[in-house]
Amino acid sequence: MKNPLSVRLSVFPVALWVIATGCLSMVADDAEEAQRRELHQYLKGRYLFQKQCAICHGTAGRGDGPWAAELSDKPRNFRTGAFKFRSTAFGTLPTEDDVRRTIRSGISGTAMTFCKDLSEDDVDALIGFINSMSRD
């Protein structure tokens, strides 16, 4: 007959392995879920940009949309990372609040109108997509 202590000790590594692999699986599932959410936000932002912004800013965000040539104040080229309305230092990207303020309030005297009909989640997705365009 085996010693009960030796049986418990031989089962311990197996139990530890089962617990560890279960935890790793949960971590992997969480990481995959986070990647799915990030991709969903990116695609949502891209869709909203194409629907709401590309007419002036262009499909690639270069400020060369179909209406851009007709505008006296040219649309921002998001690819350069140069933003006019920001609370950050020159040459740095604006904060999300800076971009949110421009989206929500628009820019007086320009074709950049305010977007009050977008949900906060939509605005977050749009900000994420706009920020992804910059080389910075």
Per-residue pLDDT of the chain in tens (136 residues, 90 and over written 9)? 555 544 444 555 655 556 666 665 666 678 888 899 999 999 999 999 999 999 999 999 999 999 999 999 899 898 887 777 787 788 777 888 999 999 999 888 888 888 888 999 999 999 999 989 886 5
Nearest Cα residue to 55 out of 69, 44, 73: 69
Residue-level pLDDT at 94 = 83
Task: Tell me what pLDDT residue 15 has.
Answer: 57
CA 80, 61, 68 angle in degrees (round to 5)? 105
Q: Six-digit token pair at 17?
A: 């392995």
Q: Are 67 and 78 in contact (CB under 8 A)?
A: no
